[in-house]
Amino acid sequence: MNRSPRRRVLAATLSAASAVLVASGAVLLSAGNANAATTLGASAAATGRYFGTAVAAYKLSDSVYSTILNREFDMVTPENEMKWDATEPSQNSFSYTSGDQIVSQAQSHNQRVRGHALAWHSQQPGWAQSLSGTALRSAMTNHITNVATHYKGKIYSWDVVNEAFADGTSGARRSSNLQNTGNDWIEVAFRTARAADPAAKLCYNDYNTDGINAKSTAVYNMVSDFKTRGVPIDCVGFQGHFNSASPVTSDIQQNLARFAALGVDVQITELDIAGSGTAQATSYSSVVKACLAVARCNGITVWGIRDSDSWRASDTPLLFDNSGNKKASYTAALDALNSGGTTNPTTSVPTTSPTTVLPSTSNPTTSPPATAGCSATVSLNQWSGGFVATIKVTAGSAKINGWTVGVTLPSGAAVTNSWNTTASGSSGAVSFANVSYNGSVNAAASTEFGFQGTGVGPSATPTCTAR
Ligand code: G3I
């Protein structure tokens, strides 16, 4: 991306987050500050979300870096190691050493991985830059198939296509060698990724799309079209590189919400905010609260750990200073996370309704009755011969410390792999228990796990038992 036009002083005033929430009619869940979590990952998890960071493989041996990484974050995005130039330096010759290193360290610390990025106009190897037409299109699909297959089962979500739209007001696609292969290159990339790894959530990712503007509307129209035509897209990433030229604006929440209403998850994927002190802290708080106010905003990733790790270190845009100390922005982000999140009854309908605490200006007659324990809903992606089931576990009116979900599979169906859970059994009545990092769920908050199988997936509402 182009850095120069984006450097302006951050807007000094930001809309009060509470006003944004009330204006949007968002439903706030009970915050439970008595049990406030003390790390970003744990606090986000209590709202059913993740908090991640970009990671550079060569920094993993730095103990200050890895200590913060493993204490604070539960999702990692390889900053450069899974890009085309890194994974296929020579055509059809693949190199996974650095990417594998990040995946392996993530798995050993119960962190999930956001793959980044399968198809992008930038950071292409030299041999791809010199291709065009059908040769480039074939090279792209071959690349996606190989990389997504190599990491199959290890990736929570893939940035399948990155930064394909132009800046400015045109609403046009960015001109690039990939775009020159035909306007359908993006949907071909998504279909190719789905075929290679059906369990990974497939995302479109871009910058300067955080608020409502011509570029984000162009992406919105593409996602709407994809959903209408059945192109497999599950999520949209909003990078969140903020500075004076692209300040945090008050319409981020509304922008996330309009994408979510299309039926995709939304995530803040590369958050960094130029600045310092209270102004930067306020901006971090606003972005976190915007995500928390949208039920399908299920995660936030910052683009690096310490300021010195940033691709634009001189802007001091991150949550830890060069020595690894927590900045005011860290505290603001953590406090915002601990203020609680939302669930969306239109996208997840538990069998028992969660307790909600409505803003004082909202109508309390819409508040459903309190119920302890937990409930679960299933969302099924079925194709001929197989399926992926995503299960959402929602706590009732009290915090739970563990859960077991019971699912009955139709005759002939079998579980082949699962994530964020420990499965018992593979056919008939199968039970799924929490793992170490997702058993604790605050009152009315949610967490997700999933499994892949052969045959026909479960359609009945799962049972949920809380501990
Ligand atoms: O690894 C080489 C090293 O061998 C060489 O000596 C050195 C000389 O410049 O370059 C090193 O590679 C650099 C690489 O980062 C690793 O540090 C590249 O030059 C440099 O271009 C690359 O920058 C990355 C940039 O993407 C490339 O576009 C940044 O680290 C990375 O943070 C940044 O991330 C992007 C996202 O992928 C997409 N969204 C925007 C975001 C920020 O630009």
Question: From ligand 1's centre to the CA of 92, what distance in Å?
Answer: 22
pTM assigned to the model: 0.72
Band of residue 390 on the pLDDT scale cut at 50, 70, 90: confident
**CA–CA separation, 423 vs 404, rounded Å?**
10
Which region among 251-255, 282-286, 333-337, 379-383 has the lowest average model confidence (pLDDT)? 379-383
pLDDT per residue over 292-332, tens digit each?
999 999 999 999 999 999 999 999 999 999 999 999 999 99
What confidence tens digit (pLDDT) does each residue in 76-98 have? 999 999 999 999 999 999 999 99
Name the residue at shortest CA distance from atom 17 of ligand 1. Answer: 80
| pLDDT confidence tier of residue 7, bands split at 50, 70 and 90 | very low
Active site residue 187: no
Nearest CA to ligand 1 atom 22: 80
Pair type for strands 50-55 and 75-78: parallel
pLDDT band for position 440 (cuts 50, 70, 90): confident
User: Which residue's CA is the nearest one to ligand 1's atom 16?
Assistant: 80
What angle, rounded to 10 degrees, do the helices at 17-24 and 252-260 form?
Answer: 40
The Cα 320–Cα 328 span in angstroms is: 9
Q: Calculate the average pLDDT of the chain.
A: 86
Residue 81: CB within 6 Å of ligand 1? Answer: no
Residue predicted with more confidence, 268 or 455: 268
Average pLDDT estimate for 65-72: 98
In this prediction, residues 281-296 reach a mean pLDDT of 97
Probe ligand 1: pick from 3, 76, 80, 269, max atoms within 8 Å of CB?
A: 80
Query: At residue 427, what are phi and psi to the nearest 5 degrees?
Result: -145, 165
Cα–Cα distance, 321 to 452 (Å, whole number):
41
Strands (DSSP E) found in 163-212: 201-206
Index of the ligand 1 atom closest to the CA of residue 162: 38
Shortest-distance Cα residue to atom 41 of ligand 1: 1
Instruction: Look up residue 86 and give its two tokens.
Output: 């890194």
Q: Is 270 in the pocket of ligand 1 (CB under 6 A)?
A: yes
153 vs 230: CA distance, rounded Å? 23
